[in-house]
């Protein structure tokens, strides 16, 4: 082994590649053919290049990198902070590290991130997908290339992969039953994005319960007060907000209407802080994140359950009759 750090140019001569290719390999800064990557790493190890010696040796031996990737959209920073905290708590005893990626719910970002994680020989991935439609054939192939993956989603559609389904059912059905019990004749579902399962279950439940009329209003929370359906007052006799972002605006619109049937979807971490007076549909992503670590580590150790059906971790409908329900 040489006494001084060899230059990338010297590594390039031995590997018969350009210095730019050497830089890409050693810094994981660009695509390189697998055979070329192996030649560069072998030349660097031969010359005693110490930039990434431990990782390089593990890659050459085919060992694990003792790292996992976490792909999620940071659109709700409070929720994701709690998800990452729970994942870190479960991951800490395993001596694994994590790469955390903001996907922006953009398939191109997701695909490139998975390719980069594969290049780094990441042992597995936890992927928080909003809907099953995000799983393009290219993304599915990238997940299979990594080999070990757990998907957390609100809508079914990842049946080929280990998945945790934080579904709308039976929570949305319980919301509709609450409206029916309160005598609502025209409940309203407020949504800000495409939630196909949520809308379908809400409509099915209203029909089953004998509710003859309902409304589904698609609106951004900041535009709610000026929406045509709200200009002359409340558009129905019960409102379910399928996003926590509607909560503050709706509370101002409901002043003086304490008994108006109102349900809002709320993130797990926020419920104990706010202690709402109205019923809520509780999201369980932090709990799902902790479970996803256990499932992924079982895959990595070769101890996974062969059952490919998704783990059900549905949202929970909670009525504030007992404040302890909000202090879990």
pLDDT at 181: 95
Co-location of 240 and 230 in the same domain: yes
Tens of pLDDT, residue by residue, the chain (328 residues)? 344 556 778 888 999 998 888 877 876 656 788 888 889 888 888 887 765 444 555 555 455 678 999 998 876 666 678 888 899 899 888 878 899 998 888 888 899 999 888 888 889 999 987 655 667 788 888 888 888 999 888 776 655 678 888 888 899 999 999 999 999 999 999 998 767 788 999 999 999 999 999 999 999 888 888 899 998 889 999 999 988 888 888 888 888 888 899 999 988 777 766 667 889 998 888 899 999 999 999 998 888 777 667 888 899 998 876 444 444 4
Domain assignment present for residue 133? The answer is yes
For residue 46, give the CATH number of its domain.
1.10.260
Asked if residue 87 belongs to a domain, the reply is yes
Residue 191 CB contacts under 8 Å (≥ 6 apart), including other chains:
198, 199, 216, 217, 218, 219, 242, 243
Mark whether 204 and 266 lie in a shared domain.
yes
Question: How many Cβ atoms from other residues are within 10 Å of residue 116's Cβ?
Answer: 18
The answer on 149 and 195 residing in a single domain is: no
With respect to residue 73, please indicate whether it lies within any of the assigned structural domains.
Answer: yes
- Residue 63: predicted pLDDT: 55
Domain annotation covers residue 259: yes
Q: Is residue 328 part of a domain?
A: no
**Taking phi first (over 0 means left), then psi (-120 to 50 degrees means alpha), and beta for anything else, what does residue 21 get?**
alpha
In this structure, is residue 253 part of a structural domain? yes
| Predicted pLDDT of residue 77 | 62
**Helix, strand, coil shares of the chain as percentages rounded to 5?**
45, 15, 40
- 233 and 298: one domain? no
Number of domains in the chain: 3
Instruction: Point out which residues pair with 245 in neighbouring strands.
Output: none
pTM comes to: 0.71
The answer to whether residue 165 is domain-embedded is no
| Contact (CB, 8 A) for 267 and 285 | yes
| 208 Cβ neighbours under 8 A, 6+ residues apart | none
**Does residue 25 share a domain with residue 40?**
yes
Do 184 and 215 lie in one domain? The reply is: yes
Residues 176 and 261 both lie in one domain: yes
Is there a single domain that holds both residue 72 and residue 29? no
Contact indicator for 24, 33 with CB cutoff of 8 Å: no
Domain limits for position 12: 8-61
> Residue 310 is part of a domain; what is its CATH number?
3.40.50.2300
10 Å Cβ neighbour count for 325?
A: 16
Query: What's the confidence (pLDDT) of residue 247?
Result: 87
Q: Distance between the two ends of the chain, CA-based, in angstroms?
A: 58
Distance between CA atoms of 141 and 120, rounded to whole angstroms? 17
pLDDT of residue 53: 44
245 and 181 housed in the same domain: yes
State whether 156 and 183 are in the same domain. no
Copy the structure tokens of residue 133: 């439609």
Burial 255-280 (b: 16+ CB within 10 A, else e): eeeeebbbbbbbbbbbbeeeebebbb
Residues 178, 273 within the same domain? yes
Provide the 3-class DSSP secondary structure of residue 149: strand
In this structure, are 259 and 292 located in the same domain? no
Encode burial over 205-217: b for 16+ CB neighbours within 10 A, e otherwise.
bbeeeebeebeeb
Does any domain span residue 320?
A: no
* Final residue of a structural domain among 283, 302, 322: 283
């Amino acid at each position: 082994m040489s006494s001084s750090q060899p230059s990338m140019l010297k590594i390039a001569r031995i590997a018969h590649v350009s210095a730019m290719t050497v830089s890409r390999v050693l810094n994981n800064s660009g695509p390189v053919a697998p055979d070329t990557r192996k030649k560069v790493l072998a030349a660097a190890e031969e010359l005693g290049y110490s930039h990434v010696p431990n990782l390089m040796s593990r890659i050459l031996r085919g060992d694990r990198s003792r790292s996992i990737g976490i792909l999620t959209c940071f659109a709700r920073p409070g929720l994701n902070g709690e998800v990452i905290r729970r994942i870190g708590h479960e991951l800490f005893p395993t001596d694994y590290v994590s790469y955390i990626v903001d996907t922006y719910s953009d398939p191109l970002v997701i695909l490139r991130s998975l390719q980069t994680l594969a290049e780094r020989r990441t042992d597995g991935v936890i992927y928080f997908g909003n809907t099953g439609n995000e799983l393009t054939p290219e993304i599915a192939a990238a997940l299979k290339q990594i080999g070990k993956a757990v998907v957390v989603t609100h809508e079914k559609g990842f049946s080929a992969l280990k998945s945790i389904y934080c579904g709308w059912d039976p929570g949305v059905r319980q919301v509709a039953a609450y409206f029916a019990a309160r005598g609502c004749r025209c409940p309203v579902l407020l949504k800000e994005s495409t939630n196909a399962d949520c809308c379908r279950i809400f409509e099915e439940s209203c029909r089953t319960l004998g509710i003859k009329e309902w409304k589904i209003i698609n609106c951004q929370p900041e535009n709610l007060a000026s929406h045509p359906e709200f200009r002359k007052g409340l558009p129905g006799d019960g409102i379910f907000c399928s996003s926590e972002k509607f909560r503050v605006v709706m509370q101002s619109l409901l002043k003086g209407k304490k008994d108006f049937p109102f349900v809002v979807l709320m993130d797990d971490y926020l419920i104990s802080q706010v202690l709402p007076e109205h019923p809520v549909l509780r999201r369980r992503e932090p709990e799902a994140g902790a479970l996803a670590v256990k499932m992924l580590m079982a895959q990595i150790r070769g101890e996974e359950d062969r059952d490919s059906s998704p783990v059900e971790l549905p949202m929970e409908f909670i009525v504030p009759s007992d404040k302890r329900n909000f202090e879990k």
